[in-house]
Structure 1
């Protein structure tokens, strides 16, 4: 977890096979799960946000080597708050279709 902007961007490219310039946020947690870093590109530069816990651990359900494709805002907030990320069943919610001209009001779940 000594990496900063360039080191984290290199990890995103090499180990995750993702583009760090995409605008997505990439979360890194140390082995002891007491330090979290978030890397994202806001359009004109990299941003690194970090949080170190004085007590407890991040991600009760996460283990070393876990690679999560995407976290929802709720899951990310749960991670920061120390809640369990395992969702046993997601309730269906209405979402607008991301593609214009397709059926809107479709239930997802």
Structure 2
């Protein structure tokens, strides 16, 4: 289980990528195709042609981290294959990483900050 801070930005690349690519090649792909800065702390999630494998790339402040996961006997739930990226909340990402249908997960609603009456 990977836990992300509540304010983390998660970008899910909807196009399948060549899974022979490593962390630096995926970071370059994110910069070129997704217009995302891979060194800004954004969590980048990539899929294989078969929806049973994902690779996650993130910058931890000292280097690129590459995480790979393959589901046994199942597939990750992906949005339709189109150009670009889909932004996920940390809660949706946790569901995706666990192999759960992330489209059915809802984040906690933001509670407005109280203000002093004028």
Structure with the larger RCO, 1 or 2 (CA within 8 Å, 6+ apart) = 2
2:40 is equivalent to residue 27 of structure 1: no
Question: Is this contact kept in 1: 2:92–2:107, CA < 8 A?
Answer: no
Give me the whole-angstrom Cα distance separating, in 2, the residues matched to 1:17 and 1:105: 36
Return the TM-score normalized by structure 1. Answer: 0.75
2:88 is equivalent to residue 77 of structure 1: no
Aligned residues: CA RMSD: 2.3
Match of 1:13 among 31, 47, 62: 31
Shift of 1:88: 8.8
Gaps of 5+ in 2: 1-18
- Matched length: 96
Give me the whole-angstrom Cα distance separating, in 1, the residues matched to 2:45 and 2:21: 13
Return the TM-score normalized by structure 2. Answer: 0.70
